[in-house]
Chains A and B, each alone.
Chain A
Amino acid sequence: MLKLETRPQPSRLWTYVAPLLAVVITMLAGAALFAALGKDPVAAIATIFWQPLFGEFAHYYRPQLLIKGAPLVLIAIGLSLGFRAGIWNIGAEGQYIMGALCGAAVALALYPMENGLIFPLMVLAGALGGWIWAMIPAVLKLWFGTNEILVSLMLVYVAEQFLAAMALGPMRNPDGRGFPGSRNLRQYESAHNAELISGTGMHWGVVAALIAVILAYVLLTRHSLGYQIRLTGQSPRAARFAGVRTARLVLVCLGSAGALAGMAGMFEVSGPAGQVTIDFNVGYGFTAIIVAFLGRLHPVGILAAGLLMALTYIGGEIAQSNLGLPAAAIQVFQGMLLFFLLAVDVLTNYRIRIVTREAA
C-alpha cells in the first residue's frame, strides 16, 4: 500500500517540477475532454497555451495578460501573508468591491474637477475602503474570537448587495438615461487609470502588483515581521513563546490584504472596467485565493501563478471564439488544472513510499 512520509524539508526539485507536471497532466486530460466534445484536441490546447503568447495577435494578448493578471497578483500577495500566518481571509472579493466603491466615490464626488491629486486620493480611498472591510473580521476575531473565514465570507455578500444599491442609486450616472451604472471614469481624465505606455497594458495596477511582489519578498526574507509571520504559521505556540504579538499580526495581515484588494478594485474600476456596475466584480477575489496557493504563498510563485491563470483565461477565450468551444468546457479545463496542481503539491512536501504490510 502507498504511504505518505513527511519530508524533513519541502523538496526543492519537486517545488519546480510539480507545477509543470500538473500542467502536462491537465493538457492530457483537457485534450481528452476537447476530443470528447468533437474538437481537435491538439489545436485546442495549442490555442489556449500558445496563441496568447506567440500567436498571430500576441501583440494584443500579451498586454491583456498583465491586465487580467495584475489584480489577481495584487490580491493574492496580500492574502498570502495571512495564509502563511494561518489567518484565513477568504473575503477578498468583498474588500475588492469596497475598494472600488470608495475609489469611485471620490472621483464621482469631485467630477468634473480636473486635478492631479485626484488619482492619488482615489488610490488612498480604495486602499482605505478595502482595509476597513478587512478590519471588520480582524477586530471581531480579536474581540470576540469569531472565525475570520466565515466573517470575511459573509461580508462578500454584504458588499455585493451594497454594490448593487450604489450602482442603482447614489452612484448612478445622472446622464445615463436611468440605466444602472456610474459615469465612465475612463472619460474623466483626472480619475482615469490609463495605460502608462500605450499598448503595453501597463497601468498603475500592474505597477502596484509588481511593487507588492517585491515588498512582500523583502518582508518575508529580510524583515522580522516576515519571520514572525512564518513562525506563527508553522507553530503558533512557538511563536507565542518567541514573543510574537498575535493580535498585531492579525491586524497587519488582514489589513494589508484588505488594502491591496481594495487598491486592486480601485485600479480596475478606474481603468479596465471604467465604471461601477451591478456586476462589476467578476470573482478576482476568489480566484486570487487559488492563485495564492498555486504560487505556494511565495511572492515570485504568485506572480507566475497569476500570469498562468490569466493565460488560461485569455487562451480559453480565444479557443471559444476560434474553435467554438463552449465557455463551460474552458471552465472545466480550469477546474482540472487547479485540481491537478493541488494534487501534485503533495509530492513537494511528502515522499510516497510503497509499504508492504507484514503478516501479523
Chain B
Amino acid sequence: MKITHSLATAALALGLATGALAQDKTKVGFIYVGPIGDGGWTYEHDKGRLAVEEHFGDRVETVYRESVPEGADAERAISQMALQGADLIFTTSFGFMEPTLAVAEKFPNVKFEHATGYKTAPNVSTYSARFYEGRAVQGHIAGQMTESDVIGYIASYPIPEVIRGINAAFLHARAVNPEVEFRIIWAYTWFDPAKEADAATALIEQGADVILQHTDSTAPQAAAEKAGDVITFGQASDMAEYAPMPRVSSIIDNWAPYYIERTEAVMSGTWESQQIWHGIAEGMVEIGEITDAVPEDVREEALALEQSMADGDYHPFTGPIARQDGSAWLAEGEVAEDDTLLGMDFYVEGLSGQIPN
C-alpha cells in the first residue's frame, strides 16, 4: 500500500515536473521545402535545427516538417506549428513568403523568420545570406584553374539571387584570367539530379573544365568525377564526399549561428523584426576547405580574398563595372547598393547570352 502510494506520488511528481519543463521550453519550428536528405539546401537548414537543439539542450524543443509544397499546404503547415505552441518558426524557402505573412497575421505572438524573402511584418523577419561573396572566391579559383578557359555554370531559375552569383563569379574569374568565358545552362529546377547530371555532362562535352552549380544536388559532382579532369565546387552544403577532386572547395550555408541567435532572442524577449543579409563576416556564408588539387598560391590568394570580405575591406561588386550592353553601372571605386543587388536582372559586361524571359 505504502509502496504503491509513494510510487503514485513519484509518478505524479514526475508528471508535474515534465509538464512544468514543457512549459519552460521554447518551441522552435522549421518548415522545409525539400526532404532533409537532399544533401544540399534543406539538409543545411536541418543541421541548423540540430545545432539549436544541441546548443540549448533541454531549454528548447524543435519540430520540423519536410517536403512542404508551397501554397495552401504551406500555410496549413505553418499554422499547425503555431497552434501547437511554437514560439518561433523558420520558413526556409522563398515560396513560403505569402503563407508566412498570412499566418503571422493570425498569430501576433509567434515570431516568424522567412528565408530569402523581402516582405516583413512586426512579427516576421527575413534573413538571407550573401552567397555572392562565396561566388567571388569560386570565380577567383575557377579562373586560375581552368585550362580550356571555359567555365560551365548550371543555373536554376533566372532570379536575382542566381544572376548575382553568376556575375560575382564571372567578375572574379575574369579578373585573374581575361580569356575566360562562361557557358550557362538554365536548368529550371533547384533539384533534379538526372537533369543536373545531364547539364554538367553537356557543359563538360563542350569543353568546360570547371563546373559551377547553383542547383542543390551532388549530381554535377558525380558527373565531373566520371569525366575526370574537371573541378567543381560544393553548393549549399560542403559536399565533402567529392573532395579532393573534383570538388576543390564549396560554399556552405551555415544557418546555425543565426538560428541560435534568434532562438536566444525569443527566450530573452528581445526579438524584433529585422531584415538581415549576412555574409562571410557574420559566418552565414562559409568557404569549404580548399583541397590540395588547388595550387598553394591560388589557395592563399583565395583565402586572402575571403579574409578581406570577412574584414569588410572588400565588396565583390566594386566599380568600375559595366553592364552587359556596355553601359556604365558602377564607377571606379563605387560599391553596389544592396537594393540594386537584390533586384539584379542584368549580366555584367563580358558575359555572353541573354537572361531568359
Kindly count the residue-residue contacts between A and B in the assembled complex, taking CB atoms under 8 Å apart.
89
Q: Are A177 and B343 in contact (CB under 8 A)?
A: yes
Q: Are B73 and A282 in contact (CB under 8 A)?
A: yes
Q: Are B77 and A272 in contact (CB under 8 A)?
A: no
Known: A168-B157, A177-B160, A277-B95. A64 touches B76 (CB 8 A): yes
Q: Are A272 and B80 in contact (CB under 8 A)?
A: no
Q: Are B342 and A279 in contact (CB under 8 A)?
A: no
Q: Are A279 and B69 in contact (CB under 8 A)?
A: yes
B56 at the interface (CB under 8 A from A): no
Scoring A179, A180, A278 by chain B CB atoms within 10 A of each residue's CB, the highest score goes to: A179
Scoring B72, B81, B342, B343 by chain A CB atoms within 10 A of each residue's CB, the highest score goes to: B72
The size of the chain A interface, using a CB distance under 8 A, is 37
Residue of B nearest to A165 (CB): B357
Known: A317-B65, A317-B76. A274 touches B188 (CB 8 A): no
B64 at the interface (CB under 8 A from A): yes
Contacts of B264 in A (CB 8 A): none
B108 at the interface (CB under 8 A from A): no
Q: Which of B58-113 contact A (CB under 8 A)?
A: 63-67, 69-73, 75-77, 79-81, 83-84, 94-95, 98, 102
Q: Are A184 and B98 in contact (CB under 8 A)?
A: yes
Q: How far is the CA of A164 from the CA of B118 in the complex (A)?
A: 22
Known: A164-B188, A279-B95. A321 touches B80 (CB 8 A): yes
A112 to chain B, nearest CB (A): 17
Scoring A169, A178, A278 by chain B CB atoms within 10 A of each residue's CB, the highest score goes to: A178
Q: How far is the CA of A277 from the CA of B33 in the complex (A)?
A: 14
Q: Are A320 and B118 in contact (CB under 8 A)?
A: no
Known: A57-B84, A320-B65. A178 touches B159 (CB 8 A): yes
A216 at the interface (CB under 8 A from B): no
Q: Are A177 and B157 in contact (CB under 8 A)?
A: no
B178 at the interface (CB under 8 A from A): no
- Per-residue CB proximity of A303-339 to B under 8 Å, as 1/0? 0000000000010011011101011100000000000
The size of the chain B interface, using a CB distance under 8 A, is 37
Residue of B nearest to A164 (CB): B188
B244 at the interface (CB under 8 A from A): no
Q: Are B63 and A321 in contact (CB under 8 A)?
A: yes
- Which label, helix, strand, loop or mixed, suits the secondary structure of the B interface? mixed
A60 at the interface (CB under 8 A from B): yes
Contacts of B83 in A (CB 8 A): 57, 60
A88 at the interface (CB under 8 A from B): no
Q: Are B157 and A180 in contact (CB under 8 A)?
A: yes
- Per-residue CB proximity of B33-76 to A under 8 Å, as 1/0? 00100000000000000000000000000011111011111011
A273 at the interface (CB under 8 A from B): yes
Q: How far is the CA of A178 from the CA of B340 in the complex (A)?
A: 12
Q: Which of B156-178 contact A (CB under 8 A)?
A: 157-160, 163
Q: Are B80 and A318 in contact (CB under 8 A)?
A: yes
Q: Are B98 and A274 in contact (CB under 8 A)?
A: yes
B345 at the interface (CB under 8 A from A): yes
Known: A321-B65, A326-B66. A67 touches B72 (CB 8 A): yes
A239 to chain B, nearest CB (A): 41
Contacts of A271 in B (CB 8 A): 72
A129 at the interface (CB under 8 A from B): no
Q: Are B98 and A275 in contact (CB under 8 A)?
A: yes
Contacts of A322 in B (CB 8 A): 63, 84
A340 at the interface (CB under 8 A from B): no
B125 to chain A, nearest CB (A): 17
Q: Which of B80, B94, B356 contacts A179 (CB 8 A)?
A: B94
Q: Which of A79-114 contact B (CB under 8 A)?
A: none
Residue of B nearest to A274 (CB): B98
Contacts of B65 in A (CB 8 A): 317, 320-321, 327
Contacts of A272 in B (CB 8 A): 71-72, 75
Q: Are B160 and A268 in contact (CB under 8 A)?
A: no
Contacts of A278 in B (CB 8 A): 157
Residue of A nearest to B344 (CB): A178
Q: Which of A168, A179, A282, A321 contacts B81 (CB 8 A)?
A: A321
Q: Are B159 and A179 in contact (CB under 8 A)?
A: yes
A280 at the interface (CB under 8 A from B): yes
Contacts of A324 in B (CB 8 A): 63
Known: A60-B79, A178-B159, A327-B35. A273 touches B95 (CB 8 A): no
Contacts of A273 in B (CB 8 A): 71-72
Q: Which of A144-182 contact B (CB under 8 A)?
A: 164, 168-169, 172, 177-181
B130 to chain A, nearest CB (A): 16
Contacts of B160 in A (CB 8 A): 177-179
Q: Which of A60, A169, A177 contacts B357 (CB 8 A)?
A: A169
Q: Which of A35-73 contact B (CB under 8 A)?
A: 57, 60, 64, 67-68
A186 at the interface (CB under 8 A from B): yes
Q: Are B84 and A321 in contact (CB under 8 A)?
A: yes
For the complex with contacts A178-B159, A178-B160, A327-B66, 16 further pairs of A-B residues with Cβ separation under 8 Å are A57-B83, A168-B157, A177-B343, A180-B157, A184-B98, A274-B71, A275-B71, A277-B70, A277-B71, A314-B76, A317-B80, A318-B80, A321-B63, A321-B64, A321-B84, A322-B63
4 closest A-B pairs by beta carbon, nearest first, are A272-B72, A273-B71, A178-B160, A57-B83
Q: Which residue numbers of B lie inside 8 Å of A, CB to CB?
A: 29, 35, 63-67, 69-73, 75-77, 79-81, 83-84, 94-95, 98, 102, 118, 157-160, 163, 188, 342-345, 356-357
Can you name 12 A-B pairs with beta carbons within 8 Å?
A68-B72, A177-B160, A178-B159, A180-B159, A268-B72, A271-B72, A272-B75, A274-B72, A275-B71, A320-B66, A321-B80, A326-B66
